[in-house]
């Protein structure tokens, strides 16, 4: 059984999902891959993990450095989890390229090379948006590239974090 709740953000409603203990999903309503892997047995319920996540998001959207991160459970392949863990290391207000993420994951895993496209595929399916900051990854060519929650939201999140988005060619 999985549980859900809704967080009302300045950028639209966000669905929170939990296994009862940890956060397993955070998606903007209607985004690409919305609620992927959630399953059919879902119940709306107030849980401590949702309260912790809401406090984290409140701080984030007020431009503050959020406090304690809610417990996260990333249910997917070891490769995707490795990419998502790499995203957690990107500080607020900083950006990295897909190539940099690929190089870092390859170095940590002892792999000679990982393709940027493979990293992009893992990032696109990040089930815990914002907290696992996939919006901080950009193209090496100066483009913001995609974001499952929509490019307008990616721009808004980066702007909130103090990133000058005017330097990107798709703004």
Helices (H), the chain: 48-61, 78-88, 98-109, 116-124, 151-160
The DSSP code for 168 is S
Please identify which residue in the block is written with the tokens 């450095």: 65
Q: Which residues contact 117 (CB under 8 A, 6 or more apart)?
A: none
The half-sphere exposure of 8 on its side-chain side, counting CA atoms within 13 A, is 0
Known catalytic residues are 134
């Amino acid at each position: 059984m999985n549980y859900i709740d809704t967080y009302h953000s300045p950028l639209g409603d966000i669905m929170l999902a939990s296994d009862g203990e940890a956060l397993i999903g955070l998606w903007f309503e209607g985004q690409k891959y919305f609620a992927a892997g959630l399953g059919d047995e879902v119940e709306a319920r107030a849980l401590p993990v949702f309260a912790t996540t809401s406090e984290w998001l409140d701080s984030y959207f007020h431009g503050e450095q959020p406090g304690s991160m809610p417990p996260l459970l990333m249910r997917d392949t070891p490769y995707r989890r490795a990419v998502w863990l790499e995203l957690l290391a990107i500080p607020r207000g900083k950006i990295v390229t897909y190539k940099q993420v690929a190089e870092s994951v390859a170095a940590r895993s002892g792999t000679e090379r990982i393709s940027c496209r493979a990293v992009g595929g893992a990032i696109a399916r990040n089930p815990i948006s914002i907290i696992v900051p996939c919006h901080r990854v950009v193209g090496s060519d100066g483009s913001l590239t995609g974001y499952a929650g929509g490019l307008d939201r990616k721009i808004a999140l980066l702007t909130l974090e103090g990133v000058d988005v005017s330097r990107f060619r798709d703004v």
